[in-house]
Chain A
Amino acid sequence: MPLTPEELKKRNQRNWAIAGILLAFVVLVFVVTVVKLGGNIAHRPL
């Protein structure tokens, strides 16, 4: 049985919220990694 328009709308909202939270978490992990590496990030082996 297909979803009603209202159920589809709510599902889309939930999916966008999860996407936003995951994206924010990826950014947070990246920034914390840079912060913890500190100045050493410039001296990493390339």
Chain B
Amino acid sequence: MSLASDTATPLRAGASLAGPSDYLTLLKPRVMSLVIFTALTTIIVAPGAIHPVVAFAALLCIAVGAGASGALNQWFDADIDAIMVRTRSRPVPSGKITAQEALEFGSILAAFSVFAMAFLVGYVPAILLAVTIGFYLFVYTMWLKRLTVQNIVIGGAAGALPPVIGWAAVTGNAFDALPWLLFLIIFVWTPPHFWALALAGSDDYARAKVPMLPVVKGSRVTRNHILFYSLVLAPVAVSPYALNLVGPVYAAVAAIGGLGFVGLAVALWRASEKTERASAMRLFAYSIFYLFAIFTALAVERLIGFAPGA
């Protein structure tokens, strides 16, 4: 990790040109929105009652915890972010916020989100939130990201945990089948989602020496892997229906959405060198739509009373 941006740190107290919006950017709001959405879905779907104010507090803690993870990631990866075109305008590499400030900001928010979750919502979701932040920082960011091509496969567990946290916020229990199936769906969804993006921007990762699959193993192996995970994802996403945990609305959206996912993965697998990038970006964009679609279906069918037990 480089602290090169620290050399530009003003030594006078308060002498920073960073505004509140720069700190908000440090929280990676786009990633945060997906985390909030998946957690909100299980808060709606989970059996039992939760007061809307407590549900709001739970979502806020999850959002702040996810943001803290993003800030700590940008502290540790300041050197990588400065090299990559996609990330070089982030607050730390652009010099608006020092890496040290990102570390302090992220650490305070991480601790704050876990403690607030513990006393506003419950200990089980608080423990899960702490595990999520710790896994993302220590296992993914610090250990796997620079070490192995399987970095985002294993690291994806952190992004897959929010539905379990949301479920635990309502039920106080983390050992039900549905939230862990949703965890599995996001876990299997993550590799094709990120590898599609990495295929489109593999030069960026190569420059930064991040061992992403396309950089280390090449395009053909990456496309094989994307197709494999897509073929696993489609049935896994329908499995909650097979276990009678969700209703037909979800099943229909997951089945049709899964076919679309596999279709685009096959198109990418067959794409020529010339069309590969466009095909990868299509799959990347579709993967985001797909995840939103199946989680929306889950929440909607619960709200309209189509889900089992609704």
> Could you list which residues of chain A lie within 8 angstroms of chain B, going by C-beta atoms?
1, 3-4, 6-7, 10-11, 13-14, 17, 25, 28-29, 31-32, 35-36
Q: Name the contact of B120 in the complex, choosing from A3, A10, A28 (C-beta under 8 A).
A: A28
Q: Check B30 for interface membership: any CB of A closer than 8 A.
A: no
CB distance from B111 to the nearest CB of A (A): 14
Kindly identify which residue among A13, A32, A36 contacts B19, using a CB–CB cutoff of 8 Å: A13
State whether A35 touches B14 (Cβ < 8 A): no
Q: Which residue of B lies closest to A34 (CB)?
A: B53
Give A27 to B20 CA distance when docked, in angstroms. Answer: 21
- Can you list 27 residue pairs at the A/B interface with Cβ under 8 Å? A1-B12, A3-B12, A6-B17, A7-B10, A7-B14, A7-B16, A10-B16, A10-B17, A10-B19, A11-B14, A14-B16, A14-B19, A14-B20, A14-B23, A17-B20, A17-B23, A28-B53, A28-B56, A28-B57, A28-B60, A29-B120, A31-B53, A32-B54, A32-B120, A35-B51, A35-B53, A35-B54
Residues of B within 8 A of A (CB-CB), count: 18
Within B10-55, which residues are at the interface with A (CB < 8 Å)? Answer: 10, 12, 14-20, 23, 51, 53-54
List 10 other contacts, CB 8 Å, given A17-B23, A28-B56.
Answer: A3-B14, A7-B10, A10-B17, A14-B18, A14-B23, A28-B53, A28-B120, A32-B57, A35-B51, A35-B54
